[in-house]
């Protein structure tokens, strides 16, 4: 019945033809290899997804090795596994391993790229209406240090970055176009490739925050033409917390000096001289969570084994089913935007505080989260929103779980 329903709807990315492949997706295997599915209905995948068993095993095994042999010794023994994450990430993003840095989280990865940009007085920063708070406060900090203008690209009629408006805003003073690919709420997928085609013809850097897109859809940095991209392990890639990726295009590595360096990022060549690494690892530091790093590599391999096209098809179908089911609930408003939408679904229930909804669902072992105006102030203020419930699906979720969520909301509303 669900497949007939989904085929009747207009779906993003022309994925309607993939309904059959979705029905053939080995959901039993996906759930069997996800221990958390036995305990919770997890719709907080844009926060931190449930780890699959192979990732969990990899992390635990390395921690046990550290406990038995010592941290330094364990790292030496696991050198191949540690190095593998660079190959895995390069394969995932369509780049070279020397363009990859593994950093303790996506925010710090983004920071290392952004603060390495050589800003000067008179520069302009272009960003989106739905930009994430951590990024925007960095823009404001740079604007205080330099005479730099922070300018917001207007949305188009779909609520996403207007490519036409961006075209009119670009000039030689634009130092960076910094865009969040999939915002923290709102469900939209900003047109990253169209933006990339415009920025490529200018001297500006293109910095893409792909924290919530990588893992739920195919991402190729050559197709997007971004100069820098940051993402995380813990969200749609289903890896452990405490690991992130920074991609830096090889032609720009030498131009970007990290804001912080250590003996891993640079060689102390003489009393008064240092040499930065020639690859993207100049953005790393020496101390790192090796168990998370190994687990991250396994998580990427695991995602690739399912196929990002197949993952995207299932995630989009489930999200569309969730939006449709929520639309049918009295008092529920779905607040998603964008011509192309993803696995993040944002909604409110009239007369009920989103935090109360989250807590009520938790008593029924259903995980969601609340996204507030402080996370995407420009976007939510423009839409007169203070808080929304965010439910984010992944391929191991099921239509039955969505029905359970909606039935629980219906009962809560009637209490």
Class of domain 2-51+307-414: alpha beta
| 3 state DSSP class of 201 | coil
Q: Find all residues with CB under 8 Å of 362, minimum gap 6, and list them.
A: none
Mean pLDDT of 312-339: 97
Q: What is the pLDDT of residue 25?
A: 87
pLDDT band at 413 (very low <50, low <70, confident <90, very high): confident
Q: Is the pLDDT of residue 10 over 50?
A: no
All structural domains of the chain with their residue ranges: 2-51+307-414, 56-305
Question: How many whole angstroms separate alpha carbon 213 and alpha carbon 154?
Answer: 21
Q: What percent of the chain has pLDDT over 70?
A: 94
Segment 370-395, tens digit of pLDDT? 999 999 999 999 999 999 999 999 99
pLDDT band at 11 (very low <50, low <70, confident <90, very high): very low
**Burial letters for 313-324: b for 16+ Cβ neighbours within 10 Å, e otherwise?**
bbbbbbbbbbbb
Q: Is the pLDDT of residue 315 over 60?
A: yes
Q: Is the pLDDT of residue 9 over 50?
A: no
> Residues 282, 266: contact at Cβ < 8 Å?
yes
Lowest mean pLDDT among 21-35, 161-175, 350-364: 21-35
Is the model more confident about 86 or about 19? Answer: 86
Q: What is the pLDDT of residue 215?
A: 98
Question: What average pLDDT is seen over the chain?
Answer: 94
Domains 2-51+307-414 and 56-305 share a fold: no
Mean pLDDT of 235-244: 98
Tokens of 361: 């669902």
Segment 117-138, tens digit of pLDDT? 999 999 999 999 999 999 999 9
Please state the pTM of the whole predicted model. 0.94
Q: Find all residues with CB under 8 Å of 126, minimum gap 6, and list them.
A: 151, 152, 153, 166, 169, 170, 174, 176, 177, 178, 204
What residues form DSSP beta bridges with 153? 128
Report how far Cα 23 is from the mean position of its chain's Cα atoms: 26
Question: How many whole angstroms separate alpha carbon 294 and alpha carbon 289?
Answer: 9
Radius of gyration of the chain (CA): 22
- The torsion of the CA quartet 70, 72, 74, 78, rounded to 10 degrees, works out to 180
Question: How many whole angstroms separate alpha carbon 177 and alpha carbon 126?
Answer: 5
Mean pLDDT of 181-199: 97
Segment 127-166, tens digit of pLDDT? 999 999 999 999 999 999 999 999 999 999 999 999 999 9
> Residues 2, 399: contact at Cβ < 8 Å?
yes
Q: Using the 8-state DSSP alphabet, how is residue 216 labeled?
A: T
To the question of domain 56-305 being in CATH 3.40.640.10, the answer is: yes
Burial of 352 (0-12, 13-18, 19+ CB in 10 A): middle
pLDDT band at 263 (very low <50, low <70, confident <90, very high): very high
Q: Which helix (H) or strand (E) holds 87?
A: helix 79-93
Q: What is the pLDDT of residue 167?
A: 98
């Amino acid at each position: 019945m669900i497949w007939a329903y989904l085929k009747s709807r207009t779906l993003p990315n022309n994925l309607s033809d993939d309904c059959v492949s979705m029905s053939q997706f080995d959901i039993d295997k996906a759930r069997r290899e996800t221990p958390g599915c036995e305990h919770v209905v997890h719709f907080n995948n844009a926060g931190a997804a449930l780890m699959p068993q192979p990732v969990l095993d990899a992390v635990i095994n390395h921690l046990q090795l550290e406990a038995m042999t010592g941290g330094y010794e364990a790292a030496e023994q696991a050198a191949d596994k540690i190095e593998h994450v660079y190959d895995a990430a390069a394969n995932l993003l369509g780049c070279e391993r020397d363009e990859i840095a593994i950093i303790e989280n996506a925010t710090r990865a983004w920071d290392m790229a952004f603060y390495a940009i050589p800003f000067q007085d008179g520069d302009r920063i272009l960003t989106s209406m739905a930009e994430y708070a951590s990024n925007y406060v960095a823009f404001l900090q740079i604007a205080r240090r330099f005479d730099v203008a922070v300018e917001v690209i207007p949305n188009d009629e779909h609520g996403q970055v207007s490519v036409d408006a961006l075209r009119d805003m670009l000039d030689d003073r634009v130092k960076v176009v910094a865009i969040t690919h999939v915002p923290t709420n709102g469900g939209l997928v900003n047109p990253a490739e169209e933006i990339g085609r415009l920025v490529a013809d200018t001297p500006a850097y293109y910095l893409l925050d792909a924290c919530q897109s990588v893992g739920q859809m195919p991402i190729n940095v050559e197709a997007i033409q971004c100069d820098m991209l940051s993402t995380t392990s813990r969200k749609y890639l289903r890896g452990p917390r405490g690991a992130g990726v920074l991609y830096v295009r090889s032609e720009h590595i030498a131009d970007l000096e990290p804001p912080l360096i250590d003996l891993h990022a640079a060689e102390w060549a003489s009393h008064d001289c240092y040499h930065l690494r020639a690859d993207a690892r100049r953005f790393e530091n020496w101390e790192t969570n090796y168990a998370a790093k190994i687990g991250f590599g396994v998580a990427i391999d695991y995602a690739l084994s399912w196929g990002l096209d197949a993952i995207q098809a299932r995630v989009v179908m489930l999200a569309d089913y969730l939006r449709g089911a929520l639309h049918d609930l009295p008092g529920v408003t779905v607040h998603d935007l964008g011509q192309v939408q993803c696995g993040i679904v944002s909604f409110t229930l009239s007369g009920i505080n989103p935090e109360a909804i989250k807590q009520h669902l938790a008593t029924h072992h259903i995980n969601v989260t609340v996204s507030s105006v402080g996370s995407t102030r420009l976007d939510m203020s423009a839409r007169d929103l203070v808080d929304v419930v965010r439910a984010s699906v992944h391929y191991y979720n099921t239509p039955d779980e969505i029905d359970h969520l909606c039935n629980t909301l219906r009962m809560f509303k009637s209490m």
